[in-house]
Structure 1
Amino acid sequence: MRIFAIAFIFKFVLAVTADSAPRCRCTPDRSCWPSDEQWQALNNSVSGRLTSIQPVAWVCHDPTFNNATCQNLTAINTNSLWRRAQPGAVQMINWESWLPVNQSCYFETPRSVPCGQGKISKYSVVAESVEDIQSAVRFATAHNLRLVIKNSGHDYLGRSTAPESLQIATFKLNDIEFSDDFVPQGAADGKSVGSTITIGAGAVLFEIYAALLTKGKIAVLGSSYTVGAAGGYVQGGGHSPIGSWKGMGSDNAIEFDVVTAEGDLITVNEYQNTDLFWAFRGGGGGTFGVVTRATLRTFDEAPMVVAQINISALASENTNYWPAVATFSSYVPRLEDENCSGYYFMLPNLTFPGLGQISAVAAVILCAERSNTTEVEDLLKPMLDPIRKMAGITVSLQSTAYPKTVPAVTGLLSGGADTTGNIVILGSRLISRELLLSEDGPTRLTNALSQLPAGDTEPFIGHFVAGGQVARNGDQVRSALNPAWRRTAVHLVWTRSWAPGASREDVQAIENQLTHQEVPIFSGLEPGMGAYLNEADANEADFQESFWGPNYARLRTIKQEWDPTGLFITRKGVGSEDWDDAGLCRLTEKRIRP
């Protein structure tokens, strides 16, 4: 009885202690915040790679105004490659501000407007080794700090920033290696999976494509210069202009090297830590650990034909515009069956110099394993001929044959870098093959699109990057990817924005319209299809179901097993429903921060 009583009391004490433990991250205004000496100790452990951060526009505002530096930085502010390498910047600048406490720092606002830290981290470890990442993870754990992983900062949901946090920047870890016969660690049979590319956490697409070109290989990647492939791209699923041909990026991930919440370096593949392997392929970046390297399957080069299509009508004669869009959309599943992927940009209210107001569709279609432009143009005739017959509609088509896929895909990339440094939020929905092949489905889709406000610079974008091998992989690949992707024909996106310095009320009005009025138009069109977690509404309602469908319950279990304290919390990521929007306080305890 005495032993039982002691055990009961001990268990009770543990429970009380656990319940009373801090459930908010430590912040600079609290005594738990690391001392200067402790920050210096971290700096020593990472060989001097710890840096204190200010927002990049800091020098354009009083009292830290510096005219020459401000002019120089303003000139390169929209260059994505520059933003990639700045710990104090991300690609979409709305995620640098912290509106609830009125903190922002924009190049565009007057010099006299105070510059706040916003959601930019207080410190960054600019990692050059796995050991640097391990030191940062252990330091964050020891001091109960909010931790953020910034790859290139190319993120639409605000996962690369968090206020009053410690950042791990991975952009310098951009090594690239190839193998002709890659054997995953732990493979009992020693069986090779074939040719692969292994990329460091910070390697971005323009670097990877350049390396692939020298080897005569292709990999499933995206179409923006500064997307970090090993980060949120492949961990979130990763759609691609060769998706219909070769599947999703996550379908082709073979192995990950990962630093866990304990600070351990582990290998994750189908032989080791298999639960994490399932989660890393589609479960979301920055959620289960820090990926230091990822190995992806590669394929031999093949020829490709790229077709560019323009469909237009004068605004005064655009009664056939939406029927033309419906006809185009109805043919997308057939294109995907032919290993063709692509994008179509719908601009129903475009101001065009010399013509006034027009309604337009600009499309690019990439057809793999084809070298004959006539063959591709014949493939497009059943789609384009009915559109050409519509009154008031003009159609143009130009096709180009490429001997290799990589130059065809990189031809989509503009200039020497993406233009970023702007304010962007997205609406997003996955549109099924079944809907587009149904008798009234394309019309229902365009009726929904026509209800959205449409401006010159905010197109509706249809990514037809699924079907084909993406669909077939549903029976072959076991991963956390939302099963809705296996039914998807089009990933639909539209954008919303506001001016830098807009009031909190104005911003909230735009966000609320997107979340509560616009997105429901499409979620009601096809209940259960969901959205792509890398390119979706940052305030997506019921994000667990939208992003992962039936996979969420297992993802949450894996998250609790590998990261029970929630060190790796990202906005709208697995387990984030337990925390406030900033990831600073658990919702089970009264918040100490907005």
Structure 2
Amino acid sequence: MKRRDLLKAAVTLPLLPLLMRSGTALAHSAGNLATTLRSRLRPGQPGWPAAAEWEQLKRQVGGRLLKLESPFAHCDASPPDGACAQALKQLGNPFAVGDNPALTQTSGWADAWSSQPSAYAVAAENPADVGAAVNFARKHHLRLVVKGGGHSYQGTSDAPDSLLVWTRHMNQVSLHDAFVPQGCAGHLAPQPAASVQAGAMWIDAYAAVTTGGGRYVQGGGCTTVGVAGLVQSGGFGSFSKRWGTAASNLLEAEVVTADGQLRIANACTNPELFWGLKGGGGGSLGVVTRLTLRTFELPEFFGGVNLTVKADSDAAYRALIAEAVGFYQRALFNPHWGEQMKFYGGNTFEVSMVFQGLTQQQAEQTWAPFLDWVHARRDCHVSKPFQALAAPARHLWDAEFLRKYLPSAIVSDDRPDAPRHHFLWSGDHDQVGWFIQGYQSAWLPASLLQPERQARLVDALFEAVQHQGVSLHFNKGLAGAPADAIARARDTATHPQVLDAFALAISASGDDPAFPGMPGAKPDLAMARRRAAAVDRTMEALRAAAPDAGSYVSESDYFLRDWQQGFWGGNYPRLAAAKRRYDPDGLFFVHHGVGSEQWSADGFTRLRM
């Protein structure tokens, strides 16, 4: 796949004055916004807000306007300043990284983007702060960015020369026994739910809902991912094969739209905005301030299994892949099982899967036939013994329980004032600040599991791993899920292929953190391009078996060409209509977000009306 050159910033001043509109008219309706904006402004350009105007915004948001600078900006000083030293000390702590509005959880992507702070940030604590920032950006023609968790691989949660709406401090979670969306009384039955503010991470939600409340909320696997961003992008967690996507369980959203108004969106009020927020991508339709998600009864147990097998030859490895595919179809293709089988070069196969609703003994019995097959062969060897563990479901995100019984599985926020419930799964630690070299995904249709088609999938997997490792994320495909979970997901903006996908295939490569200015942060771009090319070849091999496969918007190729079709398929025209209705002036821009084809790659210059 050829990688296109990124457009350089081409900032030109508007040739004609923009129409001046009163705040009252703007607040009347999102549909009244005029589409006259041609270019956004950068610091130093005529029209950039004067100091007095920034000061006025600061007073309006209760002093919570921050002028941002990277903590690595003065690392070349002798000695380095305190901000640099502190940032380097905490670089491996994702909670500390997230608490710095000038940083993101991903430091960049080769030939694509690098993490650079906004010019200013509003550290929002309530919807009024968000509305003030939105109105200020619209009035002064500024590039606006929204960041909660800051995990975006695509770099959508930061941009230089912009105004950032930073929702980190809006992180409260509240539980409801009988929630009815606004305006839906008499239409929808009350149901248990949880309301989560936009800056909360999934560990905050799990601690409140599961550890504290004894219920389950469908969220993400990585505990430091922001709730709002994940829901808006679709949202898969370890147990999505049972309870569906996070987006499909959204009952109501509170969102500030481009006119600065705070709106309620649900099935009865602003239904098209509601539908667009369910998988249409974060940062495109408005700034979400609160989400309310349905909750479920917990199963008795959650658990996981791990295993690594190495084959002695290519022929043995092909046989191992074939047995793994067949075994998955026979024994694991159901709502009990999620997460990954991984296929690597060197003829190595790894299992890292989770289960729900089974005991440890039942999980062991499920895997016994596969282990018997491996042990019966002389050309396949277990290099990491099979292990199955189960625990009461309420303790899966219980930090104190895990510190006592499974301390190696987690990495705690080690700062003295850190909340006790904050931890990261050890397996996610290598993504803290990582620099992406290549990343692609593809939905694999369940038809490939049919006995007569399995050989095609096996051939594709074997060919793929000759270039780069690939993992099958079974929880990120809803084929095999209960009918109710599939029905809810069908009523979202997520690509329809997810409904019939048994897995999302992912191939990726990354390197150590490389924030601009960080000492020693000099990515080897030649190596990065070689590895990105290897990812290309890996996914080309898989797409030979699934030629029209779409991609998951949150885990995909930055350089994807037909991204509208790749991310949303037939849902894109409806999403584009919602964008025109609620943000016709294109205030909200993210890379490969809905409506972004109308703007330059940096989001500063409008290409067409």
Is the shorter-chain TM-score for this pair beyond 0.5, marking a shared fold? yes
Whole-angstrom distance in 2 between the partners of 1:264 and 1:520: 45
Q: 1:186 aligns with which of 172, 176, 183?
A: 183
Instruction: Specify whether residues 504 and 588 from structure 1 end up closer, same or farther in structure 2 by C-alpha distance, changes over 3 A only.
Output: farther
The answer as to whether partners of 2:471 and 2:505 remain within 8 angstroms in 1 is yes
Q: Following TM superposition, by how much is the alpha carbon of 1:409 offset from its aligned partner in structure 2, in angstroms?
A: 9.5
Q: 2:254 aligns with which of 253, 257, 264?
A: 257
Whole-angstrom distance in 1 between the partners of 2:19 and 2:270: 33
Q: Following TM superposition, by how much is the alpha carbon of 1:59 offset from its aligned partner in structure 2, in angstroms?
A: 3.1
Aligned to 2:471: 461
Aligned to 1:493: 506
Whole-angstrom distance in 2 between the partners of 1:66 and 1:445: 53
Instruction: Specify whether residues 343 and 516 from structure 1 end up closer, same or farther in structure 2 by C-alpha distance, changes over 3 A only.
Output: closer
State the superposition RMSD in angstroms: 3.1
Aligned to 1:570: 590
Per the alignment, in what secondary structure is the counterpart of residue 168 of structure 1?
strand
Instruction: Specify whether residues 248 and 184 from structure 1 end up closer, same or farther in structure 2 by C-alpha distance, changes over 3 A only.
Output: same
Aligned to 1:320: 316
Whole-angstrom distance in 1 between the partners of 2:19 and 2:267: 40
Aligned to 1:40: 55
Q: Following TM superposition, by how much is the alpha carbon of 1:122 offset from its aligned partner in structure 2, in angstroms?
A: 0.9
Per the alignment, in what secondary structure is the counterpart of residue 608 of structure 2?
coil
**Quick one: which amino acid aligns to residue 360 of structure 1?**
T
Deviates more, 1:573-582 or 1:319-328: 319-328
TM-score norm. by structure 1 comes to 0.84
Whole-angstrom distance in 1 between the partners of 2:546 and 2:107: 32
The answer as to whether partners of 2:310 and 2:349 remain within 8 angstroms in 1 is no
Per-residue deviation, residues 129-151 of structure 1 (Å, max 9, x unmatched) = 11110000000000111100011
Q: Is 1:478 aligned with 2:488?
A: no
Q: Following TM superposition, by how much is the alpha carbon of 1:261 offset from its aligned partner in structure 2, in angstroms?
A: 0.5
Counterpart mapping for 1:268-347 below 5 A: 268-313=265-310, 317=313, 319-333=315-329, 334-347=331-344
The answer as to whether partners of 1:222 and 1:239 remain within 8 angstroms in 2 is yes
Aligned to 1:8: none
Q: 2:448 aligns with which of 413, 435, 441?
A: 435
Per-residue deviation, residues 259-316 of structure 1 (Å, max 9, x unmatched) = 00001001111010001111111111111111100011111221225242313226x5
Q: Report which structure shows greater RCO (CA 8 Å, sep ≥6).
A: 2
Question: Between the two proteins, what is the percent identity of the paired residues?
Answer: 28
Q: Following TM superposition, by how much is the alpha carbon of 1:522 offset from its aligned partner in structure 2, in angstroms?
A: 3.1
Whole-angstrom distance in 2 between the partners of 1:470 and 1:165: 44
The aligned length equals 544
Aligned to 2:380: 393
Per-residue deviation, residues 66-124 of structure 1 (Å, max 9, x unmatched) = 255433321211211011111110011016x9978xxx6xxxxxxxxxxxxx6321111
Q: Is 1:407 aligned with 2:392?
A: no
Whole-angstrom distance in 2 between the partners of 1:432 and 1:405: 33
Per the alignment, in what secondary structure is the counterpart of residue 411 of structure 2?
coil
Whole-angstrom distance in 1 between the partners of 2:322 and 2:483: 22
Instruction: Specify whether residues 522 and 544 from structure 1 end up closer, same or farther in structure 2 by C-alpha distance, changes over 3 A only.
Output: farther
Q: Following TM superposition, by how much is the alpha carbon of 1:414 offset from its aligned partner in structure 2, in angstroms?
A: 2.8
The answer as to whether partners of 1:200 and 1:294 remain within 8 angstroms in 2 is yes
Per the alignment, in what secondary structure is the counterpart of residue 337 of structure 1?
coil
Instruction: Specify whether residues 185 and 514 from structure 1 end up closer, same or farther in structure 2 by C-alpha distance, changes over 3 A only.
Output: farther
Q: Is 1:421 aligned with 2:428?
A: no
Whole-angstrom distance in 1 between the partners of 2:361 and 2:449: 26
Instruction: Specify whether residues 44 and 20 from structure 1 end up closer, same or farther in structure 2 by C-alpha distance, changes over 3 A only.
Output: closer
Q: 1:379 aligns with which of 342, 366, 369?
A: 366
**Quick one: which amino acid aligns to residue 66 of structure 1?**
P
Q: Following TM superposition, by how much is the alpha carbon of 1:366 offset from its aligned partner in structure 2, in angstroms?
A: 2.4
Whole-angstrom distance in 1 between the partners of 2:215 and 2:34: 54
Q: Following TM superposition, by how much is the alpha carbon of 1:374 offset from its aligned partner in structure 2, in angstroms?
A: 2.6
Instruction: Specify whether residues 33 and 514 from structure 1 end up closer, same or farther in structure 2 by C-alpha distance, changes over 3 A only.
Output: farther
Instruction: Specify whether residues 470 and 38 from structure 1 end up closer, same or farther in structure 2 by C-alpha distance, changes over 3 A only.
Output: farther
Instruction: Specify whether residues 326 and 305 from structure 1 end up closer, same or farther in structure 2 by C-alpha distance, changes over 3 A only.
Output: farther
Aligned to 1:368: 356
Whole-angstrom distance in 1 between the partners of 2:362 and 2:111: 53
Deviates more, 1:384-393 or 1:395-404: 384-393
The answer as to whether partners of 1:515 and 1:540 remain within 8 angstroms in 2 is no
Aligned to 1:523: 543
Whole-angstrom distance in 2 between the partners of 1:514 and 1:577: 28
Instruction: Specify whether residues 119 and 519 from structure 1 end up closer, same or farther in structure 2 by C-alpha distance, changes over 3 A only.
Output: farther
**Quick one: which amino acid aligns to residue 178 of structure 2?**
D
Whole-angstrom distance in 2 between the partners of 1:462 and 1:570: 28
The answer as to whether partners of 1:430 and 1:491 remain within 8 angstroms in 2 is yes
Instruction: Specify whether residues 524 and 454 from structure 1 end up closer, same or farther in structure 2 by C-alpha distance, changes over 3 A only.
Output: closer
Q: Which runs of 5+ in 1 are unaligned?
A: 1-12, 105-117, 350-358, 590-594
Whole-angstrom distance in 1 between the partners of 2:398 and 2:241: 14
Instruction: Specify whether residues 46 and 237 from structure 1 end up closer, same or farther in structure 2 by C-alpha distance, changes over 3 A only.
Output: same
Q: Following TM superposition, by how much is the alpha carbon of 1:380 offset from its aligned partner in structure 2, in angstroms?
A: 2.4
Instruction: Specify whether residues 538 and 254 from structure 1 end up closer, same or farther in structure 2 by C-alpha distance, changes over 3 A only.
Output: same
Instruction: Specify whether residues 30 and 15 from structure 1 end up closer, same or farther in structure 2 by C-alpha distance, changes over 3 A only.
Output: closer
